[in-house]
Structure 1
Amino acid sequence: MVGPRRLRSRFVRVVGIVAVVVFAGGMLTSATAQVIGPEEADHDADSGQVEEDEDDGGPQAPVDFLNDRFTSFQDVTDDQVEQAVAQAATFGENGNTWRLVGPSNIGGRVTGLVVDPRRPNTIYVAASGGGVWRSTDAAATFQPAWPSGQTQTLGSLAMGRDGTLWAGTGEANPSGGGLTYFGNGVYRSTDGGRSWDNWGLTRSGSIGAILTDPVDSRRVYVAATGNLSGTARQRGIYRLADNGRDWRLVLPTPNNTTGGVDLAMDPTNHNRIYAVLWDHQRNNGARVYGGVGSGLFRSDNAGETWTRLENVIGTAPTDQAGTGLRSDASLGRIGVVVAPNDPNRVYVVSATQYGPDKGFYVSNDGGTTFTPSGHAGGSSGYAWWFGRLWVDPKDENHLYDADVNLRESTDGGVTWHVSAGVHADQHAMQWDPNQPGRIYLGNDGGVYHSDTNGTSTSWVHATYEPFNQSYHLAVARDDPTRLATGLQDNGSVRTWTATTPPGDLTQWNAYGGGDGHEVLIDPTNHNTYYECSQVGSCRRHQDMDGTSMTINLGARHSTRTTTDAPIVLDPTNPAVVYFGGNVLDRSTDFGNNFTQISPPGDFLTGPVPPKEDDKGPFYANEYATITWIAPAKTDPNTIYLGTDTGRLWRTNDLGAHWTEFTGKGLPTRWVNAIVVDPTDARHVFVAFSGYREGDLAANIWETENGGRSWDNISGRLPNGPVEMLTYDQPRRRLYAATDLGVFVNRDGRSSWRRVGRGLPNTSVLDIKITGDGRTLYAATFGRSVWSVRIDD
């Protein structure tokens, strides 16, 4: 058995690995049912066998709130991840204190939500990269209920009948762009989130669901999902045993790409449990979100044995494979729910391996048999992003399905419509037992509530929820309060409008939709600025005379463009705009027209490797692309660029000729960032990320001779992804934004220090220095934007 243990590793960002592992065969099946017994050991993800784990040593001391990997199938272990975290901890905190800037009025992805039945108007939510938050005013405002110094990545949340909060770290939702974060197990709080104990399963990667027993508060079930692109020793369905101190693996997985993702319980029989296993994986470019390990199971003896539920009478219209819930390569994510007022009514929704709905099914005999019903999902095709159903506790025919839009049925799933008035991408919902007709909802836009049982347009959005996920950040050169950031599923937002200058920096407003990615502000005229949504859909905005004009950028010449496509302004002439796909485009008129300046085809990137070629309908042309572009300020003809295939290039004549540095001592890894010294075009820093390939090294390299030779200046920098670099040339300081904090190099070589105090322990994806050189801004992926004063 596996018991509680102290936190020793934080989340790890995963975007992919080199190879997709395809497994033959599947779960043992018969014409009727499969019975699976429990295991009392960890599941070894590499061998498919079970092995005894070390003694976790019982519950650990609580983490006082007031005091405040990725692992490949080949070489990275849980211990290596823990070593990286321990390495980061040795830096400590020093210097000035980080300050939350904003936004706080928008809200980010919510992965879990529970209502406190003992306290009116009180709920708790788990934010994807933002920890646990508590509201005592019916979801109008939220305050932290999770220590900022602990990992902020959350995948699930539950509350026991005794009021104990259970939080599962590591998000199980694999976003299309690949930003899936992993955690370090399950936490428990008995004082409303003021302090937390780490309660084990530290090697589970991510937690898809937690289920508490309403009869025995010491009995808790956890769906351990594992790592999307690497190993995780603890995968499957676990049950808390031994008087609530140890975890027992009761439903193991058949291969090392399968984990647990959903749980449900018969409200009248606490020994009847429903569980979902999900077979899914991704690498650098390919996503396969289904497989033979996926399946729906039921236990009638509290998890001692399990029966596979696959008896579907008929075929759903959306099930092109015609395999229903049987083990099949086309079976993707599954969601299951039991009607609280009718335990025989069970609803199931399933997806295919590439995203479209596979089928929606209804059972009136507790899951023994199912029949297909209406089309629960919309037409988004992203069903792997959701996999959740919720049923009205007073009406078994009133239910909701998670999709891009919130889908509602009032006739038991025969017909569906949209409950409008909420943000896209639904993930969490619960009815309030203290307030008839009140429902709380969590999605990619934060938290909502309805007091009329979820009727369309009745939803009210929270007003204070500072847990946004930023991809990129821009700061006006002449005004340190004029900020813009691109947010996951919340577009691009800014601190000003066309008619008003920046004021309250907590209140940001939108100027671009979709997933907000790259944002730019013209350094010579802050009334000209840019924003991009996914795959390089970019626009230029211009404020003038109290109005704002939006211009779509001109046609570009790439046939492949990554989700987070790079667009940069020339540092000497802001009318010159560069854009990267699989070729490099250049504009000399602020992006109205572009000219291709690199050779055609795959010259810069190389072709898409067959094993990294995505076969789904959405992402087939988003790999083997340029990921960063760095024009030199002192030489307008010199440009450096890098690719996701690990290639690094320089041109000294605006693209007529190219020099490649790949294979000359540098790692062949995804290029995350390039910085050229503004006073010397030969002096360059490059950040590589190998997490997608099972390499934990923090790779930062420097050249002082234009690339003839390179030095690894990573030094003692903690081993974790380096997301962004920025160079303070007057002080000769290099800043690195990482998944383990923000660090500064002061001597140009290998001496690194942590920057500031009090920055929440979540990934930092971008950093910017203000024009006056006095402030450093950090854009986090879960806790919004922060700032710290820079001392000389």
Structure 2
Amino acid sequence: MRIRLPSRVIVTVAVIFMHAAGNAQQAPERFNVDLLKGFTYRALGPYRAGSWVTSFAVPDSPSRDHLYTLYVGTRNGGVWKTTNNGTTFEPVFDGQPKLSIGDVAVVPSDSNIVWVGTGEAYCARSSNSGDGVWKSVDAGKTWTNMGLADSHHIARVVIHPTNPDVVYVAAMGHLFSPNAERGLFKTTDGGKSWQKVLYVNDKIGAVDLVMVQSSPDILYAAMYDKVRLPWHYELGGPESAIYKTTDAGKTWARLGGGLPTGRIGRIGLDVYQKNPDILYAVVENGNRRPPTAQEAEQDKRRNAPPAPRTAGNEVFRTDDGGKSWRKVNAGYEAALNKAPYSFNQLRLDQNDTETVYITGQSLASTNDGGKTWKGLDWPSDGVMPRAFGDWRVMWVDPLDSNRLIFGSDGGVNISYDRGKTSHHAYNLPLTEFYAIGVDMEDPYNIYGGLQDHDSWKGPSNGWAGEITLTDWVTVGGGDGMYNCVDPTDSRWLYNNREMGSMWRLDQKTGVQTSITPQRPAEAPPPRFNWTPPIALSPHNPSIVYTGAQVVFRSLDRGDHWQEISPDLTTNEDAKQHGEGFISYCTLTTLAESPVAPGVIWTGSDDGKVQVTRDG
């Protein structure tokens, strides 16, 4: 049925809408980016903790530069440079759009020319992509993008020892999807144009590359076959392999001769430059092997039948330029097997063919060619034993084997006695925050959860008008995540670490109480995200929320919990049992409306947004 309105009603409605539109146009903006121009930023800290370092570059010459200049690539903090052996560091890459660094390299024949490959060269779910390669011709003062923007993750930049225009780039490509711009690239005109010289397919990337300095037409490349999905990680495949060229990349041969095949993951390489027929490789072997007698006994004590194990990282050596390889480690060193997708860097002492270093939780090292190893346990009994672990990158001075510069999730460490002692470059202001919180004190305090470095609290201003090292204190452990403070009484702090462990800290007494919610024995266990959410009710901060696949609520500061929702994720069974110890179909965020009590919103990693309006 059609309804006909009187003309005066239509006119009245039109006038009302015109008036409303006019008011909307005249209403002042509540926020404008120009408002931010009045703010200036200052470094607050925390100090000394350090964070994930990805790459080092040291000039070959002149001698003073070799001794005192160091470029440091970081996971999320750009490139830093020191010209006084670490007394001070300055950021030299902050003006660029992408600050995740895969590799840094200085031209051997001209220390003013520096190359940076962006996009960290790891396969973590949190890995950040880059925008190709950058070049500086004035030692880092200015930069020019030289292409390969779709490569996303650059693992190596290798430069000809005498011709600065010849550069090779090992690109891993997209982490979660296929793409064509991956493999090994070469320029002969200083980056104006690029040629793809080694390519397998749109899923296989290049993860390592070494050049024989005395014969620069000879290079060895490691190709990497893996699958990364949000809910599954396939560590390797048949296309992971070592390739060799003797004609500057025109042709390549895939090497065998004793190297494992099948389910192979990340490979790290180095060549002994004084005798380049000698190479070492650390190979992630994902094939299955029978349990050792000790492992079978462990299974028996758990009332389980002896189960096959993944072979794990294996170290190989060739003395004939890759024609034949022999395994030099036992193959069961557990410390070598922590997440090879974000470790597996290998470096040789260029003055001793028997000394090898490999990154991992500890720094694994051998001084007898692999017969015996140190640094396989934590705390470490090997190189740099007092330094922070999770080692990611190494530089061994080819002119002085006592001088080591190694990088970890704790930053940069320098040794002058072959790793017996080391100096931590604590003045390099690097930190990776998961989340930030504040309290309502005056001056207010800032709280943050750090990657690998606990949760911290620091003031927005110090008693002397500045914030110093001693002003920051730890307030939680692990990979610190969320920190939520009661806005009405900052005595009460709630925080968590990876995978859901949760605490309440009484900041008056210093007592920390575990308040991790549990489910009934008959229910599926809580499925927490790596960074589980915490929220306090804006209407009553004694009410605490957290989420797994369901929402938990406590009415008494975490002493008791209720489940107040069903599973709010897609709950796809096929996405909950993938390899790689990934917790998926989990809640990643939640919040209660500040306007209406009981209106609660959630979001999950599988794309679901849910709301309740009745608490």
After TM superposition, the score normalised by the length of structure 1 is 0.64
Residue identity matched to 1:112 = S
Q: Which residue of 2 aligns with 1:370?
A: 325
Q: Distance in 1 between matches of 2:192 and 2:253?
A: 27
Deviation at 1:379, TM superposition (A): 5.7
Deviation at 1:94, TM superposition (A): 6.2
Q: Which residue of 2 aligns with 1:265?
A: 211
Q: Which residue of 2 aligns with 1:247?
A: 194
Maintained 8 Å contact 2:529/2:586: yes
Q: Unaligned stretches of 5+ in structure 1?
A: 1-90, 313-323, 655-792
Q: Are residues 1:598 and 2:533 paired? A: no
Q: Are residues 1:487 and 2:431 paired? A: no
1:157–1:149 CA distance, 2 compared to 1 (3 A) = closer
Q: Which residue of 1 aligns with 2:361?
A: 404
1:243–1:171 CA distance, 2 compared to 1 (3 A) = closer
Q: Are residues 1:225 and 2:169 paired? A: no
Deviation sequence 1:392-419 (CA, Å, 0-9, x none):
1211111110101111111112221112
Q: Are residues 1:350 and 2:288 paired? A: no
SS class of match (1:548): coil
Deviation at 1:604, TM superposition (A): 1.5
Which protein shows a greater Rg? 2
Q: Which residue of 2 aligns with 1:332?
A: 265
Q: Which residue of 2 aligns with 1:632?
A: 593
1:615–1:645 CA distance, 2 compared to 1 (3 A) = closer
| Alignment of structure 1 residues 417-566 onto 2, 5 Å | 417-418=374-375, 419=383, 420-432=385-397, 437-455=402-420, 458-479=421-442, 481-495=444-458, 504=467, 508-544=472-508, 548-557=510-519, 558-566=525-533
Q: Are residues 1:95 and 2:58 paired? A: no
Of the three residues 575, 578, 583, the one matched with 2:542 is 575
SS class of match (2:528): coil
Q: Distance in 2 between matches of 1:213 and 1:510?
A: 47
Q: Unaligned stretches of 5+ in structure 2?
A: 1-32, 288-309, 376-382, 520-524
Q: Which residue of 2 aligns with 1:389?
A: 346
Q: Which residue of 1 aligns with 2:294?
A: none
Q: Are residues 1:156 and 2:98 paired? A: no
Deviation at 1:613, TM superposition (A): 4.2
Deviation at 1:508, TM superposition (A): 3.7
1:614–1:297 CA distance, 2 compared to 1 (3 A) = farther
| Alignment of structure 1 residues 136-215 onto 2, 5 Å | 136-161=83-108, 162-163=110-111, 164-175=113-124, 178-215=125-162
Q: Which residue of 2 aligns with 1:296?
A: 242
Of the three residues 563, 585, 608, the one matched with 1:647 is 608
SS class of match (1:563): coil
Maintained 8 Å contact 2:347/2:396: no
Q: Distance in 2 between matches of 1:431 and 1:540?
A: 45
Deviation sequence 1:92-131 (CA, Å, 0-9, x none):
9962244033324322211110123431322001111111
1:242–1:651 CA distance, 2 compared to 1 (3 A) = closer
Q: Distance in 2 between matches of 1:358 and 1:203?
A: 30
1:503–1:553 CA distance, 2 compared to 1 (3 A) = farther
Q: Are residues 1:607 and 2:571 paired? A: yes
Maintained 8 Å contact 2:576/2:585: no
1:243–1:193 CA distance, 2 compared to 1 (3 A) = closer
Of the three residues 207, 227, 243, the one matched with 1:281 is 227
Deviation at 1:480, TM superposition (A): 5.0
Deviation at 1:534, TM superposition (A): 1.0
RMSD, aligned CA: 2.6
Q: Distance in 2 between matches of 1:289 and 1:573?
A: 46
Deviation sequence 1:37-86 (CA, Å, 0-9, x none):
xxxxxxxxxxxxxxxxxxxxxxxxxxxxxxxxxxxxxxxxxxxxxxxxxx
SS class of match (2:558): coil
1:380–1:311 CA distance, 2 compared to 1 (3 A) = closer
Deviation at 1:222, TM superposition (A): 0.6
Deviation at 1:614, TM superposition (A): 4.8
Q: Distance in 1 between matches of 2:266 and 2:150?
A: 22
Deviation sequence 1:205-227 (CA, Å, 0-9, x none):
11011111223222211101101
Residue identity matched to 1:392 = D
Residue identity matched to 2:326 = T
1:100–1:231 CA distance, 2 compared to 1 (3 A) = farther
Q: Distance in 2 between matches of 1:93 and 1:165?
A: 37
SS class of match (2:42): strand
Q: Distance in 2 between matches of 1:228 and 1:394?
A: 37
Q: Distance in 2 between matches of 1:596 and 1:465?
A: 44
1:225–1:561 CA distance, 2 compared to 1 (3 A) = same
Deviation sequence 1:613-666 (CA, Å, 0-9, x none):
4532522xx111111111234444332222222222222333xxxxxxxxxxxx
Q: Which residue of 1 aligns with 2:17?
A: none
SS class of match (1:344): coil
SS class of match (1:474): strand
Q: Which residue of 1 aligns with 2:6?
A: none
Q: Distance in 1 between matches of 2:399 and 2:270?
A: 22
1:243–1:650 CA distance, 2 compared to 1 (3 A) = closer
Deviation at 1:491, TM superposition (A): 2.3
Q: Distance in 2 between matches of 1:563 and 1:187?
A: 33
Maintained 8 Å contact 2:500/2:516: no
Maintained 8 Å contact 1:334/1:348: yes
SS class of match (2:264): coil
Maintained 8 Å contact 2:395/2:405: yes
Maintained 8 Å contact 2:313/2:337: no
| Higher mean C-alpha deviation, range 423-432 or range 96-105 | 96-105
1:352–1:384 CA distance, 2 compared to 1 (3 A) = farther
1:304–1:93 CA distance, 2 compared to 1 (3 A) = farther
Deviation at 1:237, TM superposition (A): 0.6
| Alignment of structure 1 residues 121-132 onto 2, 5 Å | 121-132=68-79
SS class of match (2:499): helix
1:346–1:149 CA distance, 2 compared to 1 (3 A) = closer
**Hey, which of these two has a bigger chunk of helix by percent?**
2
**How many residues get paired?**
537
Deviation sequence 1:243-287 (CA, Å, 0-9, x none):
663221110122x22111101122432221010111223223122
Residue identity matched to 1:336 = L
Q: Distance in 2 between matches of 1:529 and 1:94?
A: 30
1:500–1:379 CA distance, 2 compared to 1 (3 A) = farther
| Higher mean C-alpha deviation, range 296-305 or range 473-482 | 473-482
Q: For CA contacts below 8 A with separation 6 or more, give which structure has more relative contact order.
A: 1
Residue identity matched to 1:344 = D
Q: Distance in 2 between matches of 1:575 and 1:569?
A: 7
Maintained 8 Å contact 2:234/2:580: no
Deviation sequence 1:539-558 (CA, Å, 0-9, x none):
222222xx622222244224
Q: Distance in 2 between matches of 1:596 and 1:295?
A: 49
Q: Distance in 2 between matches of 1:565 and 1:434?
A: 48
Maintained 8 Å contact 1:476/1:522: yes
Deviation at 1:528, TM superposition (A): 2.3
